[in-house]
Structure 1
Amino acid sequence: MRSTKVILAATAIAAALATGATAKPGDPGREKVVAAIKADHEAAVERLRDWIKLPTIANMGINHREGAEYMRSLVLDAGFQHAKVVPTDGVPGVFATLDAGAKDTLAVYFMYDVKHYEPSEWSSPPLEGRIVDRPGEGKVMIGRGAVNQKGPETAFLSAIRAFKAAGVKLPVNLVFVAEGEEEIASPHFPQVIANPEVRAALEKASGIIIPSAGQSVDGQMTLLLGAKGAVELQLISSGEKWGRGPNKDIHSSLMANVDSPAWHLVKALNTLVAEDGHTPAIDGWFENVKPLTARQKELIAADVAAGNEADDMKVLGIKRWYKEEDYLTANFRLAEQPTVNIQGLVSGYTGPGGKTVLPGRAEAKIDLRLVPDMTKDEAVAKLKAHLAKRGFGDIEVNVSGGYGPTQTDENSLLIKAEQATLADAKIPMTMSARSAGSWPGVVFTGPPLKMAAGQFGGGRGGGAHAPNEWLLIESSNPKVLGFDGQAILYADFLYEVARTAAKAKR
């Protein structure tokens, strides 16, 4: 049997992990802030549920203006003094500031849009925000946007609200920018950042974060030092543009003497990858690809060592990696290889049974993932030139959005503050060179701002872009933060940003 001292020590550690780091001498008012976060729990959960009820879906024209206005109201309610909707040629952005009279400033990026959903695929209505038990995890909220990204963003705003409710001065000033087109690769977000007022405010910040729920099932977190870029586009083959084949669907018997736009597209797609059906084969595609450095490989190796290959494969529903590669090699490839992916293929009749038509049009939905030092414009230009060179210049290349990759120095003030916050909270941590997923961080890390940028946040969730998306609200695992713990970790992070900045100035 364990001694009473051991039991008490274990209990204290579990409590620290459940609620965030312990106060430091330089953290005035922290206990009041923590108490305010806990007192606000039920209201905060309800705010998240209400936000989930209002989905902004960029590619479907749903709630563009309403989503922006709601985002503006949320940040004002949380304590930001000034907030405005910023018009763009597409979905509006939102810009806000909170001047705490502090010496240092942190910027925060939000997205208020979500992916579309098919209600019939969900266990509960996707806009209801129902709380259910998740075995081995605790109580979770099910809803579109729960983890990507409204849940973590609500936790961050809850931390800001708590400072206001507790009458405690924020340790840093805040600059806030949000967009409603992240899920379609942010085609108009650069217009928000180019706004002179927005840019001037961001230039004062020491870095920018996007809130996230980043803990694994065993409580570990990976700090990402970058992300791949992304380009979303459609390749369209039509009899009208090609000058061959029909300009509408016709009887399939005519395939004997009429060209097929669908097969034309298939032939074009086949040139984009090598015989393995995997490796990009677009002319010059790897010309500007920057190999991983020795340090980046070291970070990835440490992250892989802390991971679990079997769990990863189970979540992905796979039994092997490309070319039967080992776990580490597969993760090197995940970080360093740019990709050409077919999201979907649409042509002709796709209902029950057959219809025996020769389609007059075929479309492939494509996404490109880019690594340093590739750019969006370079990738699109090379794709178009590649197709034209092979006799497919008639195929339309419609780019709907995109941006380049992002990278941040591990020695930046922002990353150092993230590391210190997790160390104080006793949350195990690794770093990795970059995420294989994407967000428009390049608008911050690239010129002219050249800021440090990263994803940060505790807690857990899953199902982003999928049915039954969820966010952990009450954790049954003392190693993983619940919703209140997420909010407390953000409060501690704000204290740590101020403390790290002060150290850097000495």
Structure 2
Amino acid sequence: MHSSINRRSVLKASLFAGLAGSVMPLSTSGFAQSDARAAIRAAALANREQDIRRIQDWIRLPSIAAEDLNMPEGAEYMAELARSAGFSDVEIVPTDGHPGVFGYMDNGAARTLGIYFMYDVKQFDASEWRSPPTTADFVDVDGWGRAIMGRGAVNQKGPEATFLAALHAMKRAGVTPPVNIALICEGEEEIGSPNFKQVATKPNVLSALKKCEGIFIPASWQGANGEVSLNMGSKGIIELELVASGENWGRGPKGDIHSSLKAMVDSPVWRLVHALNTLVTPDGNTVAIEGWFENVRALSERERELINTAAAASDEAQRKTSLGVTHWIDDLPYNEALQRLAQEPTVNIEGLVAGYTGPGGKTVLPGKAVAKLDLRLVPNQTRAEAERKLRAHLDAEGFADVEMNVSGGYDPTEIAEDSRLVQAQLAAYKAMGVTANLNPRLAGSWPGAVFTAPPVSIPAGHFGIGHGTGAHAPNEYYLIDSTNPKVAGLTDATMGYAEILFQLANVR
């Protein structure tokens, strides 16, 4: 599924290549010396071709935890990327599942920044893509510019490689980063990070993380107007399967049988459907699990204010078009839909699998049915609480035989608006002339709770400029050359990561 190119040789040969052209020159604010910034930009431009190849080559090595594909290779490649960018004492950290990677860059600075990477990507069906998902080809995207298309392009290899590009540019320019950097990586984010805490709590890793002012995952979510959201937290998640089978139920067939026998034999598939129906209200929009909302924290007045401000400044029609929808739940006004997005925990069916799903029909009564679910959690819910309540609900509703197989997950996160991490991000965006809207909570999830909860207990969020889309979907891409003067291409996105380092070093 990936090319036979010698990745290590290419990577080691790539230390002094470069980045995409600039469309949005950044201001000099935040840098100790304006000539330092100019030197870094010049180095980034000189590094352009090699930095592009770094993104492409990484995409060509898809590490998919759910399929156990290229996981050792993915960890080795991640470790080599870290070493080449200047991290020392880089180690591959074993876990009960797939390994993590850790590296540290001691720049003799007073402050330390944490950076979180994931080297795994989601599964894909190549037949659904306009360009093969592992060849990392260039495509033209209407209204945006020239982009690299491939699985992991924006989630998360493009932004992560761009952060590394900033370190390469600083190295080439002879500019020492003004903060120390602790880099922690995992290969199981796309399956719910079941073993990531083992990486973060390894004694030397934990010691480094506890020194950090905060940690972020690189992200490239600029909208068409150039604005970004600064997320003050993220929803938690649980990924699981519910399985109904004739064998566990004691009714229905143990395997597939002829469908004509439905007249006298129970169906495990219908049993699973009925079990699923008990989890939500009839419209499917509100969780109906007993006690589900007892610990849910309502949005504060400040959070509602931030959401209403963001809604007023947003293009609702454009967002509906981009999502391919025509209505929000209950036909809510946009600001109320966004409030619901931030506050509401959810039960979502990702997939349903039972019996025959190929071309044409096959008249069987299946002996087993599987529903793949994700549960999104909000403060002050916890993963442990949610798992317990789901199991208790199924048992109380008479579905004790329905298996509940949890594959991963983590708690929601929150960070303080006055934290140094948030203030440094706001200062960096301002210095770059980028409008940043404070967002109370990202509806998506990442394992930030590993950092915000004890024993690490540091702020955790997202940062970056640039653009890409298609995470978890066909035709995922990451913008390299922007035709929109308000949106960063690769060089400006690279400079954004340099900016945040200097802002964190200087913020009070």
Range class of TM-score, shorter chain: over 0.9
Aligned residue for 1:398?
405
Q: Mapping of 1:107-126 within 5 angstroms?
A: 107-126=114-133
Separation of aligned partners in 1, 2:333 and 2:266: 45
Alpha-carbon separation, structure 1, partners of 2:399 and 2:113: 48
Shift in Å at residue 117 of structure 1? 1.1
State the AA in 1 paired with 2:422: I
Is the 1:17–1:425 contact (alpha carbons within 8 Å) kept by the matching residues of 2? no
Aligned equivalents of 1:79 and 1:35: distance in 2?
A: 19
Q: Is 1:135 paired with 2:128?
A: no
What secondary structure does 1:402 align onto?
A: strand
Q: 2:24 aligns with which of 18, 22, 27?
A: 18
The number of aligned residues is 487
| Aligned with 2:469 (options 459, 462, 475) | 462
Q: Which residue in the other structure is 2:188 paired with?
A: 181
Which residue is equivalent to 2:57? 50
Give the drift of 1:30.
2.3
Determine helix, strand or coil for the equivalent of 1:18. Answer: coil
CA contact (8 A) 1:343 1:366 kept: yes
> Within 2, Cα distance between the matches of 1:48 and 1:350?
36
What do the CA deviations read for 1:110-151 (whole angstroms, capped 9, x no partner)?
011111111111111111111122222111111111111000
In structure 1, distance between residues paired with 2:466 and 2:434? 11
Aligned mates of 1:64, 1:477 — CA distance in 2: 37
Instruction: State whether residues 17 and 427 of structure 1, in contact with CA within 8 Å, keep that contact through their aligned partners in structure 2.
Output: no
1:209-288 mapped onto 2 (5 Å cutoff): 209-288=216-295
Deviation, structure 1 residue 25: 6.0
Q: Does 1:148 align with 2:137?
A: no
The one-letter code of the counterpart of 1:54 is: L
Q: Is the 8 A contact 1:23 1:30 kept in 2?
A: no
Among 391, 395, 404, the alignment partner of 1:388 is: 395
Over the matched positions of the two proteins, sequence identity in percent amounts to 52
Offset at 1:21?
2.8
Q: How many Å separate the matches in 2 of 1:109 and 1:285? A: 31
Q: Is the 8 A contact 1:19 1:484 kept in 2?
A: no
The amino acid that maps onto 2:273 is V
SS, match of residue 212 in structure 2: coil
Matching residue's letter, 1:394: D
Alignment partner, residue 326 of structure 2: 319
Cα distance change of structure 1 residues 431 and 24 upon mapping to structure 2, 3 Å threshold: closer
1:350 to partner: Cα distance: 1.2
Deviation at 1:16, TM superposition (A): 8.8
Residue 339 (structure 2) aligns with: 332
Counterpart Cα distance in 2 of 1:256 and 1:138 = 59
> What displacement does 1:29 show?
2.3
Does the 8 Å contact 2:22/2:491 carry over to 1? no
Deviation larger for 183-192 or 25-34 = 25-34
CA contact (8 A) 1:473 1:483 kept: yes
**1:199 aligned residue (199, 206, 209):** 206
What is aligned with 1:302?
309
Code of the residue aligned with 1:191 in structure 2: it is Q
1:446 paired with 2:453, answer yes
Q: SS where residue 24 of structure 2 aligns?
A: helix
Distance 1:134 1:383 in 2: 43
| Residue matched to 2:499 | 492
- Is 1:434 matched with 2:441? yes
Separation of aligned partners in 2, 1:371 and 1:267: 26
- In the alignment, is the contact (CA less than 8 A) between 2:31 and 2:37 conserved in 1? no
The 8 Å contact of residues 114 and 145 in structure 1, kept in 2 or not, is answered as: yes
- CA distance in structure 1 between the aligned counterparts of 2:325 and 2:350, rounded to whole angstroms: 18
Poorly superposed stretches of 4+, deviation over 6 Å: none
Structure 2: distance between partners of 1:276 and 1:121: 30
**What is the SS of the residue equivalent to 2:428?**
helix
SS in 1 for 2:123: coil
User: C-alpha distance in 2, partners of 1:117/1:16?
Assistant: 32
Deviation, 1:173, is 0.2
Match status 1:363 vs 2:370? yes
What RMSD over aligned residues (CA atoms) do the two structures have, in Å?
1.2
Q: Structure 1, residues 29-49: CA drift from partner, whole Å, max 9, x if none?
A: 222112111110111001110
Please list every run of 5 or more consecutive structure 2 residues that lacks an aligned counterpart in the other structure.
1-20
* SS of match in other structure, 1:29: helix
Q: CA deviation at 1:20?
A: 2.5
Report the 3-state secondary structure (helix = DSSP H, G, I; strand = E; otherwise coil) of the residue aligned with 1:19.
coil
CA-to-aligned-CA distance 1:336-370 (integer Å, 9 cap, x gap): 00000111110111122221111100000010000
Aligned mate of 1:29, from 27, 36, 40:
36
Indicate yes or no: 2:426 matched with 1:424.
Answer: no
Equivalent-residue separation in structure 2 for 1:16 and 1:68 (angstroms): 32
Contact 1:235 1:364 in 2 (8 A): yes
C-alpha distance in structure 2 between counterparts of 1:90 and 1:493, whole Å: 33
Cα offsets for 1:435-479 (capped at 9, x unmatched): 110000001111222211110000001111111111110111111
Secondary structure of the residue that 1:222 maps to in structure 2? strand
| SS of alignment partner, residue 292 of structure 1 | coil
Match for residue 90 of structure 1? 97
Residue 23 of structure 1 deviates from its aligned partner by: 4.8
Instruction: Report the Cα offset of residue 214 of structure 1.
Output: 2.0
Tell me the amino acid that sits aligned with residue 430 of structure 1: N
Give the distance between the partners of 1:104 and 1:34, measured in 2 at CA: 24
Matched AA of 1:190: K
Q: Name the residue aligned to 1:7.
A: none
Q: Secondary structure at the match of 1:485?
A: helix
Give the CA deviation at 1:17: 6.6
303-312 or 70-79, larger mean C-alpha shift:
303-312
- The offset of 1:281, in angstroms, is 0.3
Deviations for 1:381-416, whole angstroms, at most 9, x for unmatched residues? Answer: 100000001110010000000001001111100000
Aligned 8 A contact 1:213 1:458 in 2: yes
- 8 Å CA contact retained: 2:148, 2:479: yes
1: distance between equivalents of 2:284 and 2:233?
27
Equivalence for 1:77: 84
Cα 1:121–1:129 shift into 2, 3 Å: same
Equivalent in the alignment of 2:6: none
Structure 1: gaps (5+ residues)? 1-14
